[in-house]
Amino acid sequence: MLKQRLSQKMVQKLSPQQIQLMKLLQIPTATLDQRIKEELEANPALDEGEESEEVFDLEDDASAEDKIAKEEEPQKDEEFELDDYLLEYIEEDPSSYKFKTSDYTLEEEDKKMPIAVEDTFYDYLEEQLGLLDFSNERELIIAKQIVGSIDNDGYLRREPLSIIDDLMFTQNVNASEEEILYFLEQIQDFDPPGIACRSLQECLAIQIKRKIKNEVYDDPILLEKSLLILNEYFDEFSKKHYNKLLKGLNISEDELKEIIEEILKLNPKPASGYKGGNTSSRHYIVPDFILTNKDGELDLILNSKNAPDLRINDHYVEMLKNYNIKKKDKKNNSEDKKAILFIKQKIDSAKWFIDAIKQRQQTLFNTMYTIMQFQYEFFLSGDQKRLKPMILKDIAEITLLDISTISRVVNSKYVQTEFGTKSLKEFFSESLQTKDGEEVSTLEVKKILSDIIDAETKKKPLSDEKLKEMLRDKGYNIARRTVAKYREQLNIPVARLRKEL
């Protein structure tokens, strides 16, 4: 039986402005400039202001969230007072906001990074297609489809049948599997060696074959045995079952060592061997913060180079002023009022965005400053063993911000220090208790674990059980499965795969 009833419940909902602020917090400095450009293009009331001597005050107590809340109070569209609006929102701060720091000169600000114009990796491969003898346009299309299916590492991971389907749907070309394999074999002769391989085994074998073909060797027998290992004993080689290799190939340990050294010289990612490189795969880190040590005192700077001066467009302000004059003279009409409501909406949106950017800068600085104070000893020395256990909750409690806000600030942000550019995530770790009851960072344990493995005898690497015992001898009460977890997090393979001859 259906019934109707009334109920009350408390629901927390984020306003569009709060959502916008949360999204801005996640954006790293490297992409902030693009986000601001998008907003400038979308909102004509938002403008880039002239550079002035005013510097953005990171310690400003005025919260942008308070301003946003004020602007969200219900207004009567029929009776809003433009005098108060102009005074409170525009004329109060005609130069609007500036987000630069005083540590950069105007000359430095005007410098633009030159954009290198160069051929891409795929252009380089397509140029080599001109060396092949195609009987018609159809064969060229098939070869180009194969080249276009190669990934950034230089591997061809699409099956021939999938390439056939691609050709049919995109080029209306019906190709056979034999044709795909025929042109694939020819493309595998291109530079760099190993290109268009379908597995690591094939990649390495192609490079050895190229050396044999071009007679690039000191010892031909060494290359022949290297190729034999790759073709017939690749599983044993990859798992470092050296005893099986010695027995199966009937060679000495010294010979096997030379063969392994020859194979290790090969490039497992052929595309990285191209000098021009694949520009799409390059990543540049722009630090969000710059931290310097000045005679034992840490100095933190927010990198604001990608945040231009923002202000309300003067033309829109004048339109509001003119409407206000007309209103007092009772010369305005309904069309003017519709236009002015639209202008006010755009100005409000611009103000919200400017305040959100300002709040972003304040939140980023306050969070990083708190992290700096928490890990002061580490930032002075760069010694990872001085890192204290620290979780998001610790920073949230000090800054009085929500844990989710701290998480957004930390995500994809970097700080430039005297000992390298570090991700903010690197400074967070759980705690682990020693035998003496002292709490230490798990990062400290990982550093010691890494040092122990670096110092081990590679002919007889240490097992996880032995590593556990050595850590316990140093005072770290840790289980074997935890050792395995930390080792995996450090991208260190198991003992068997660390073994060397």
Confidence at residue 440, expressed as pLDDT on a 0 to 100 scale? 75
CB atoms within 10 A of CB 121: 22
Q: Which helix (H) or strand (E) holds 142?
A: helix 137-148
Instruction: Tell me if 29 sits within 8 A of 286, measured CB to CB.
Output: yes
Mean of per-residue pLDDT scores for the chain: 78
Given a cut of 70, whether residue 61 has pLDDT beyond it is no
Rounded distance, CA 362 to CA 59, Å? 7
Mean pLDDT computed over 192-221? 86
- Say if residue 99's pLDDT is above 60: no
What confidence tens digit (pLDDT) does each residue in 242-295 have?
A: 888 888 888 888 888 888 888 888 888 888 766 554 444 445 778 889 999 988
Range 348-363 average pLDDT: 85
Query: Looking at the predicted structure, is the pLDDT value of residue 372 above 90?
Result: yes
The average pLDDT across 304-315 equals 76
In this predicted structure, the answer to whether residue 83 has a pLDDT above a threshold of 80 is no
Check pLDDT > 50 for residue 88: yes
Position 1 confidence tier, pLDDT thresholds 50, 70, 90: low
Q: Is the pLDDT of residue 70 over 60?
A: no
How does strand 414-417 pair with strand 289-294? parallel
Give the pLDDT score at 73: 47
| Better-predicted residue by pLDDT, 411 or 5 | 411
> What would the two tokens of residue 41 be?
């293009």
The answer to whether 387 touches 337, Cβ cutoff 8 Å, is: no
Where b means 16+ CB within 10 Å and e means fewer, 372-391 reads bebbeebbeeeebebbbbbe
CA-nearest of 53, 192, 54, 189 to 132 is 189
Q: What residues have CB less than 8 Å from 25, skipping those under 6 apart?
A: 360, 363, 364, 405, 408, 409
Instruction: Among 37-51, 69-83, 246-260, 328-342, name the one with the lowest average pLDDT.
Output: 69-83
Pull the structure tokens for residue 106: 């105007």
Residue 114 has pLDDT above 80, yes or no: no
Classified as helix, coil or strand, 484 is: helix
Query: How sure is the predictor about 355, in pLDDT bands with cuts at 50, 70 and 90?
Result: confident
Does the pLDDT of residue 306 top 80, yes or no?
no
If you average pLDDT over residues 146-159, what whole number do you get?
90
Task: Summarize the confidence of residues 397-413 as an average pLDDT.
Answer: 89
- DSSP letters for 307-363: S--EEE-HHHHHHHHHHHHHHHTT---HHHHHHHHHHHHHHHHHHHHHHHHHHHHHH
**C-alpha torsion 171→145→150→193, nearest 10:** 180
Q: Is the dihedral of CA 445, 447, 452, 453 positive or negative?
A: positive
DSSP 423-467: EGGGG-B-EEEBTTS-EEEHHHHHHHHHHHHHHS-TTSPPPHHHH
Considering only CA atoms, which of 184, 164, 162 is closest in space to residue 172? 164
Domain boundaries, the chain: 16-102+301-403, 121-273, 429-498
pLDDT of residue 22: 76
Q: Which range, 3-7, 49-53, 124-128, has the best average confidence (pLDDT)?
A: 124-128
pLDDT band at residue 68, thresholds of 50, 70 and 90? very low
Indicate if the pLDDT at residue 84 is higher than 70. Answer: no
pLDDT at residue 367, rounded to an integer: 93
Cα–Cα distance for residue pair 291/376, rounded to 1 Å: 11
Across the range 65-76, mean pLDDT stands at 44
Best CA proximity match to 416, nearest among 42, 63, 2, 30: 30
Q: What is the pTM of this model?
A: 0.55
288 close to 302: Cβ distance less than 8 angstroms: yes
Q: Is the CB of residue 409 less than 8 Å from the CB of residue 363? A: yes
Q: Which of 334, 179, 214, 202 is nearest to 268 (CA)?
A: 202
Nearest to residue 193, comparing CAs of 216, 209, 172?
209
Contacts with 257 (C-beta within 8 Å, 6 or more apart), sequence order: 501
What average pLDDT score do residues 13-27 get? 70
Nearest partner of 499 among 471, 458, 466, judged by Cα: 458
Q: Is 69:352 a contact under the CB 8 Å cutoff?
A: no
Higher pLDDT, 488 or 313: 488
Please report, as a single letter, which amino acid is at residue 303.
Answer: N
Q: Is 410 exposed, middle or buried (0-12, 13-18, 19+ CB in 10 A)?
A: buried
Could you tell me the fold of the domain covering 429-498?
Arc Repressor Mutant, subunit A (1.10.10)
**Helix 220-232, helix 253-264: angle, nearest 10:** 80
Question: What is the tens place of the pLDDT at every residue in 416-443?
Answer: 998 888 889 888 887 777 776 677 778 7
Write down the pLDDT at residue 52: 37
H-helix segments, 240-305:
242-249, 253-264
